[in-house]
């Protein structure tokens, strides 16, 4: 009787050129130096090396005459072959070997990605199981939205808040163009959402105001419309996310004058901005810390977020779910759901109705 072969019986013929035994003893790279990834471009990684104390200096050259400021050592690196399937993004802390002099034309080798403290992810849409890693080790997510031109996208803001809570990142709602229209509606909607809200008016004199405050390190210039934003980002690794056209790159150029990020305008027909930033880049803040500017997004999929995490991103509604019957889906047709009464009683704040609607739109996308 002929033998029946199964798939696991298959043994491929060894490759003559690659059949030599490999050692299991990998190099420990004990002399590797640490660095912070600040940019990624076609397989090349821009990395700021750690100083003698293990920190990543972010101070820009001082504007004061006679005062020298530390300048971070920057190198270009490629990743080792065993990391070829590992996503490396701005904010990652890595270890490097090889030529770390930073001399033009030299390349270091990136051999390890250290454990990430936080990881911001998104999917293309709620049905796409593939996760896109955006940034790593971020402390603050600045969700940038404009009051007008373009109109606020409350759906994107809610989704970004969920992603921030899921990643363990502190959200910060940055409202731009308040010189054109007040932020009253935004403040009302998110007053009980557990997120700080700061305003920033993009005006032609902003650069001059920031320059004046930068020259005086003793205190922030009270006349600077971006002082409150800068204070929230001081000494932290932060990322800016939001639709195209809301003013992310303009705000980045104000907070980091040497950035020179391209800026654009909103289309008069579609009401949408155009992509002016093509890649995420990590930039040093004047008073310490790093700011990551990302390309504008038009969707923020949450396929990787479970139901409990989603509910935790709506703190003004979470307490009401404890009064719901067991197995409640919290949707509008769910019998005995207490969310509607909770909102009707004003316990979810002035923005409770719209926030409940947003929660119910997002719930079907979770597992």
Distance CA 117, CA 178 (A): 34
- Taking residue 219's Cβ as centre, other Cβ atoms within 10 Å add up to 8
Q: How confident is the model at residue 265 (pLDDT cuts 50, 70, 90)?
A: very low
Buried b or exposed e, range 35-61, using 16+ CB within 10 angstroms: bbbbbbeeeebbbbbbeeeeebbbebe
Q: Which of 63-77, 277-291, 306-320 has the highest mean pLDDT?
A: 306-320
- Taking residue 140's Cβ as centre, other Cβ atoms within 10 Å add up to 19
Mean pLDDT value across residues 190-219: 65
Is pTM beyond 0.85? Reply is: no
Predicted local distance difference test score (pLDDT) of residue 200: 84
Distance CA 141, CA 230 (A): 13
Q: How confident is the model at residue 16 (pLDDT cuts 50, 70, 90)?
A: low
- Of 118-127, 257-266, 352-361, the poorest mean pLDDT is in 257-266
Question: 78: which residues sit within 8 A by CB, 6+ positions away?
Answer: 43, 44, 45, 107, 108, 109, 110
Distance CA 68, CA 88 (A): 33
Q: How confident is the model at residue 207 (pLDDT cuts 50, 70, 90)?
A: very low
Query: How high is the mean pLDDT of the chain?
Result: 82
Considering the chain, what percentage of its residues have pLDDT values greater than 70?
Answer: 77
Q: Which of 24-33, 58-67, 261-270 has the highest mean pLDDT?
A: 24-33
* Res 116 pLDDT > 90: yes
Give the side-chain half-sphere CA count within 13 A for 226. 31
* Res 314 pLDDT > 60: yes
Write the pLDDT tens digit of every residue in 130-156: 888 999 999 999 999 999 988 999 999
Q: How confident is the model at residue 211 (pLDDT cuts 50, 70, 90)?
A: very low
Predicted local distance difference test score (pLDDT) of residue 65: 43
């Amino acid at each position: 009787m002929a033998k029946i072969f199964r798939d696991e019986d298959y043994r491929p013929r060894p490759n003559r050129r690659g059949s030599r035994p490999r050692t299991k003893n990998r190099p420990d790279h004990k002399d590797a130096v640490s660095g912070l990834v600040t940019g990624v471009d076609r397989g090349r990684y821009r990395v700021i090396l750690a100083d003698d104390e293990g920190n990543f200096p972010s101070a820009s050259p001082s504007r004061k005459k006679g005062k020298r400021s530390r300048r971070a050592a920057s190198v270009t690196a490629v990743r080792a072959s065993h990391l070829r399937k590992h996503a490396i993004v701005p904010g990652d802390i890595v270890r490097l070997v090889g030529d770390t002099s930073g001399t033009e034309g030299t390349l270091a080798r990136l051999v390890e990605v250290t454990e990430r403290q936080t990881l911001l992810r998104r999917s293309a849409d709620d049905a796409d199981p593939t996760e896109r890693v955006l940034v790593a080790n971020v402390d603050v997510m600045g969700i940038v939205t404009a009051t007008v031109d373009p109109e606020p996208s409350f759906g994107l803001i809610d989704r970004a808040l969920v992603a921030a809570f899921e990643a363990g990142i502190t959200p910060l709602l940055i409202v731009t163009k308040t010189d054109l229209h007040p932020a009253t509606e935004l403040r009302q909607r998110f007053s009980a959402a557990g997120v700080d809200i700061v305003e920033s008016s993009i005006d032609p004199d902003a650069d001059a105001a920031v320059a004046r405050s930068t020259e005086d390190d003793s205190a922030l210039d009270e006349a600077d419309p971006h002082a409150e934003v800068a204070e929230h980002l001081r000494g932290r690794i932060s990322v800016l996310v939001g639709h195209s056209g809301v003013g992310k790159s303009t705000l980045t150029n104000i907070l980091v004058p040497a950035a020179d990020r391209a800026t654009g305008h909103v289309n008069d027909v579609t009401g949408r901005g155009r992509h002016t930033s093509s890649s995420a880049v990590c930039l040093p803040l004047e008073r310490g810390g790093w700011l990551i500017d990302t390309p504008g997004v038009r969707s923020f999929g949450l396929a990787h977020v479970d139901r409990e995490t989603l509910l935790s991103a709506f703190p003004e509604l979470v307490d009401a779910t404890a009064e719901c019957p067991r197995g409640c889906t919290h949707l509008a047709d769910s019998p005995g759901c207490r969310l509607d009464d909770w909102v009707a009683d004003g316990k979810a704040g002035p923005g409770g109705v719209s926030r409940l609607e947003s929660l119910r739109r997002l719930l079907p996308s979770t597992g």
